[in-house]
Amino acid sequence: MTSAAGPSALSTAAGALPLFGCHPARPLDHLNGAGLLWRISGGKITAMETDWATIEIDGEQHIVHRRPSPANFVLPWR
């Protein structure tokens, strides 16, 4: 990662939701509003800023913009 946003983002539940948030019953069926880590698809995060991240998948760079999580999304460990 190119920034230190990752560790500080995990300090609160509100910060963790954009990274880990998922649909409570069927997380893999609702990826559009899911947190960043649900959308990596076997790739790796090459850059991460407060409102976007770049994921490299099969040698291609994909920019993922931060979206507000739907109201019913939860953290998977809660």
| pLDDT value of position 63 | 93
The yes-or-no verdict on residue 16 having pLDDT over 50 is: yes
Domain encompassing residue 41: 5-65
Residue 27, domain member (yes or no): yes
Which residues have a Cβ under 8 Å from the Cβ of 16 and sit 6 or more positions away? 9, 10, 35, 75
Q: Is residue 52 part of a domain?
A: yes
pTM, full prediction? 0.68
75 within domain boundaries = no
Q: Range with the lowest mean pLDDT among 3-17, 43-57, 64-78?
A: 3-17
Average pLDDT, stretch 51-69?
90
pLDDT at 77 over 80: yes
73 within a domain of the structure (yes/no): no
Task: Report yes or no on 34 lying in a domain.
Answer: yes
Per the structure, the count of domains in the chain is 1
Burial of 25 (0-12, 13-18, 19+ CB in 10 A): exposed
Task: Flag whether 19 is in a domain.
Answer: yes
Is the residue at 13 inside a domain?
yes
Residue 72 placed within a domain: no
